[in-house]
Structure 1
Amino acid sequence: MMKLSILIPSVCLVGVMATGCVSNKKFAELQSTNTKLQQSNEQLNQRLQASESDASGGKIRIKSLEEQIAAEKANAVALQAALNKCLNSSSQGNVNISKLVDEINSSNKYIQQLVNAKNKSDSLNVVLTNNLTRSLSQQEMSDVDVQVLKGVVYISLSDNMLYKSGSYEISDKAGATLSKIAKIISDYSNYDVLIEGNTDNVPIAKPNIRNNWDLSALRASSVVQALQTTYKVDPKRLTAGGRGEYNPLVANDNEAGKSKNRRTQIIITPKLDQFMELIGKAPAETKP
């Protein structure tokens, strides 16, 4: 995995410290700039890891369809070989030949259906993702991940954006993004919405929170209540649930993995007819 590095500000700071030719104020400004650049570097690395994880999931789904296509193509080759053998053998009758021809045609038709399903699935996911994220800014997209899997829409929000550190209280900076998420939910008013909290595997150490089950459920409940009270989403559509540390996206063996696993998912589940309607419907653009 490519790792972004920002070295120049650090080198500059060392040079400044060595020469001693700037004031303490200037040195502090340079230190602050260096810290911001390092934080930006870390955010870019996290976005890179998230993108690689999403791409990996897509490759798995595509590989499954490609394997089915390959298997059917192999079956078609075997059937064609059997047909050729029949044609070269005087002991085979016209009935067997006709049956083999029908099987070959049926196999080829199924292969084409699989290819069409793969192409349609890829296209639908792109259309739906674009529709759902068009009101989000580039900066907001670094904390928001949208996926469409088997007709279900998953909007994943990072805990850094949503909550105060080590808490289940919604942070002030989450308001702008949550308002746009609420707009998406309101645009598809007939769909059920599950808010699902997830944590990493680090035990919580708070007197009023027993464990990560409590923390994940409380965080999901906070989002539900914000959507209801602040953004006027119908509470009858909302369900809050917590999965603790038991639904990780990646291993919890480093800080980047833990950060990715600490998330809240908003899961929009349309019925089949509603899903087909969603394909052609885009939410109205939100004015900046």
Structure 2
Amino acid sequence: MKKLLILVACSGLMFTSCVSKKKYAELEAKQKETQDMLNTATVKLNDCLEERSGLRAENQSLKSQVASLNATNGDLIKQIGDFTDLTKKGAANLEKSLESLKEKDLTIRKLQDAVTRRDSVNLALVQSLKGAVGSMDDEDIEISVEKGVVYVNISDKLLFNSGSYQITSRAKEVLGKVAAVVKNKPDFEFLVEGHTDTVPISTGCIKDNWDLSVLRATAVVRTLQNDFGVAPARMTAGGRGEYVPVASNDNADGKAKNRRTRIVVLPKLDQFYNMIEEGLKDPAIN
């Protein structure tokens, strides 16, 4: 009897063990199926995320294209003057912008006209001076225009004797011709500059090259005023000494070129530059 019970018990255990393995196999199969589904879903999710990222980039690109097209469209609207789809406020703003551009263009044209007039007057002045002083083959006289200013360079050997500031008779002839031109140009002022070489000088009346250059410039100004009636208020006398050379002072030719008197003929620069400054203050410019 005891053996029978043991046999029944073992049979029951074997039966139970068989049933558990079968369920385990089923569960394992379901787990694998679920894992496969999860893997598939994960792949699809990644694809969706990647696709969403691509769509976002494409959407941003389309937005940029739309913005560019809107800008181009706005430019075309301005060019053809089509205000049909503009609001009243937009049309008013556009009209103000156009008016501002017109004012700016007008101001710039005024400044350009001023510069053109100045250059034209300077050119006419140069021609008058060249015609008045005669042949420009004379190396002792040079007339030029630089940066809107007329320069008349006269060699000191034409104006003065060596180491002197007394005007020569030939110099008065040349200065008289220059005076005849500038007297007919009341809109011009001029600066008379004296220049020397580096050779030192010291006499009872002249201390150094600074002194000599100033005395020579003053002598030219006095001659223009006293002998030829040029208004003194239009003239300035100045000495530059040896410090603005145009050639080397190491040789005689260079020193001769540096000993000169320069007449700088200036338009009334205060009026000209005031006009430019006023123009630049214009809101249309800024």
Q: Give the TM-score taking structure 2 as reference length.
A: 0.52
- Aligned pair partner of 1:226 in 213, 223, 226: 223
Report the secondary structure of 2:219's partner residue: helix
| Matching residue of 1:132 | 129
**Aligned residues of 2:189 and 2:268 also touching (Cα < 8 A):** no
CA separation of 1:158/1:99 partners in 2, compared to 1, >3 Å: closer, same or farther? farther
Supply the distance in 2 between the matched residues of 1:267 and 1:95 (Cα, whole angstroms): 57
Q: What is the identity, as a one-letter code, of the residue corresponding to 1:223?
A: V
1:202 alignment partner in structure 2: 199
- What letter matches 1:94 in structure 2? L
| 8 Å Cα contact 1:159-1:264 kept in structure 2 | yes
| Code of the aligned partner of 2:192 | I
In 2, Cα distance between the equivalents of 1:134 and 1:159?
21
- Does the aligned pair in 2 maintain the 1:140–1:177 contact within 8 Å? no
Give the 3 Å change call, closer, same or farther, for CA 226–97 of structure 1 in structure 2. Answer: same
CA RMSD of aligned residues (A): 3.6
* Offset at residue 141 of structure 1 (A): 4.1
Match in the other structure for 1:214: 211
Give the length in aligned residue pairs: 176
| Preserved contact between residue 128 and residue 148 of structure 1 (Cα < 8 Å) | no
Query: CA deviation digits over 1:48-75, x for unaligned, max 9?
Result: xxxxxxxxxxxxxxxxxxxxxxxxxxxx
Separation (CA, whole Å) in 2 of partners of 1:140 and 1:240: 27
- CA shift digits 1:142-171 (9 cap, x unpaired): 321112223322111110100012211111
Task: State the Cα distance separating 1:262 from its structure 2 match.
Answer: 0.9
Aligned-partner Cα distance in 2 for 1:159–1:97 = 67
Change (3 A) 1:94 1:148: same
The AA in structure 2 aligned to 1:170 is I
Using the TM superposition, give the Cα deviation of residue 99 of structure 1 relative to its aligned residue in structure 2, in angstroms.
10
Q: How does 1:80-91 map to 2 (within 5 A)?
A: none
Per-residue CA deviations over 1:170-213 (Å, capped at 9, x if unaligned) read 11221211110111221112322211101111111423211100
Superposition deviation, residue 274 in structure 1:
8.3
1:156 to 133, 145, 153: 153
What whole-Å deviation, never above 9, does each CA across 1:95-120 have from its counterpart, x for those lacking one?
A: 6778999xxxxxxxxxxx9xx99xx7
Which whole-Å CA distance do the structure 2 matches of 1:192 and 1:166 have between them? 28
Aligned to 1:94: 69
Give CA-to-partner distance per residue, 1:6-32, whole Å, 9 cap, x none: xxxxxxxxxxxxxxxxxxxxxxxxxxx
Residues 183 and 100 of structure 1: is their aligned pair in 2 closer, same or farther, counting only changes over 3 Å? same
Query: Do the aligned partners of residues 260 and 181 (structure 1) sit closer, same or farther apart at CA in structure 2, a change above 3 Å counting?
Result: same
TM-score (normalizing by structure 1): 0.51
Contact 2:128 2:181 survives alignment (8 Å):
no
Alignment of 1:103-252 (within 5 A): 124=120, 127-138=124-135, 141-252=138-249
2:267 is equivalent to residue 270 of structure 1: yes
Q: Could you say what secondary structure the match of 1:204 adopts?
A: coil
* Unpaired runs of at least 5, structure 2: 1-60, 77-108, 273-286
Partner Cα distance (2:204, 2:70) in 1: 79
Deviation (angstroms), 1:244: 0.3
Structure 1: gaps spanning 5 or more residues: 1-88, 102-112, 276-288
Q: Percent identity?
A: 44
The separation in 2 between residues aligned to 1:96 and 1:252, in whole angstroms, is 65
Q: Cα gap change, 1:218/1:140 in structure 2, threshold over 3 Å: closer, same or farther?
A: farther
Of residues 205-214 and 137-146 in structure 1, the stretch that sits farther from structure 2 once superposed is: 137-146
